[in-house]
Structure 1
């Protein structure tokens, strides 16, 4: 029994020694292209891992590779939401990258446009790819950007409003743009139909307003036609004002 235990310890030590001396044989990068977003690709990730080719990973000893440092380098790209770097016993170095998912494009009358995700993170436009998402513009959005979107609790109901549109299959296709005026009142513009929908504030009546909007699409438009009105107001209690 003592001999068997001793032999196992020797074999275990030998295996650990072999693992410690192992070098990188392959690099496997996976970028999750979820939601049909293509902001970053495998070559971009390799460039981040190697400091644009200055650092060599191929045949490098795993003893010298710091996984957390590589993850930090990859996260320098603002389109990266999460990343995991690890290895296997055969000598392959893996990097699994999750991209950010924008739900809104913030259009500005001055300066560059930005994307906004469901967590309230703001990140820049990409030269590689343009996401087809809801466009938000107006003085109120500019004000929130200047303050720092996540630092101002005022943004929370507006983010919830945008998330509701993004999650709804019909509304995400039908509502292509919103404008938010200086006071924070929302207007919605459609892909089909000439009506401007006055949603107002995303306040405690948010659910009621979305139910009225659903009623407008399911009951009123089929009876009156898509071109019957130019203005729809959802702000009044238990009423839908169509003009």
Structure 2
């Protein structure tokens, strides 16, 4: 008896008792969960857009799966509900979990759109941050740039991926100017002309800004900044119909009253 380590025996016994108690507690919880009913449904919609709201999600769940309030939790097909919500074109992710009191929480994250496109056939769609096409709805109009004109990108069904280089260029321009105090405020619309050149429509001034494509966009925008800082103050906003920076090393200004072209050959010093 003297060689028995009573402290070790005590702690071993205590550990076994705690494990047994935990097993009993878990079995009681599982038994309770198996018979527990849904007391309430709470929907939380996240994201900067408001294409859909809590009422839309609750209505969709009740229409497709019946009223879940009052049902036993074990009979509710949570995975199928998540999959059904994620099929909505305005939803990027959905997750469902339950509380101990029987509340079913549905967390929904909306897609974020960056551009509204009106193609050459008059079909409209949004483009989200992942390059998916999102349908237009009258319920909500997000504050994003609109691009129209000779845009060949088609639209047949929601969540298609953008295919053409033109629309990818348009999205690249939007992403590029985002957060830039000058261009985010100055550009109010994007237009694709008959020559397939991208034109930026400014908020201040009547001249159209021609960039051609999204290639070398930094370089083109720097030349447009030079136009605004060094040329516009001297000639005024009525002088030119178009300012073209499509071609490297120059700013081409088309006079409003005719087809006379001012070609300002600029030696761009990148250090400045």
Contact preservation (8 Å) 1:103, 1:166:
no
How far does the alpha carbon of each residue in 1:20-69 deviate from its partner, in whole angstroms, 9 at most, with x for none?
Answer: 322211211111241xx3211111011122226x6011021111222221
Q: CA deviation at 1:189?
A: 1.0
Q: Could you tell me which residue of structure 2 aligns to residue 188 of structure 1? A: 200
> 1:85 and 1:190, CA in 2 relative to 1: closer, same or farther beyond 3 A?
same
2:210 alignment counterpart: 198
Q: Deviations over 1:83-137 (max 9, x none)?
A: 2222222211111112222211112454541111122111111121112211111
Instruction: Report if aligned partners of 1:149, 1:155 keep a CA contact under 8 Å in 2.
Output: no
Unaligned runs of 5+ in 1: none
Q: CA–CA distance in 1 between the matches of 2:108 and 2:227?
A: 42
Structure 1 runs of 4+ aligned residues shifted over 6 Å read none
The two structures, once aligned, show a CA RMSD in angstroms of: 2.5
Tell whether 2:75 aligns with 1:43. Answer: no
Separation of aligned partners in 2, 1:32 and 1:180: 34
Normalising to structure 1: TM-score of the pair? 0.85
**Alignment-derived partner of residue 20 in structure 1:** 34
What residue in structure 2 maps to residue 123 of structure 1? 134
Q: Is the 8 A contact 1:23 1:60 kept in 2?
A: yes
Residue matched to 1:72: 83
Across the two proteins, how many residue pairs are aligned to each other? Answer: 237
- Compute the displacement of 1:238 (Å): 2.5
Question: Aligned partners of 2:129 and 2:146: how far apart in 1?
Answer: 14
Unaligned regions of 5+ residues in structure 2, if any? Answer: 1-12, 255-272
1:237 counterpart residue number: 248
Is the contact between residue 118 and residue 163 of structure 1 (CA under 8 Å) also seen in structure 2?
A: no
TM-score, structure 2 as length reference: 0.77
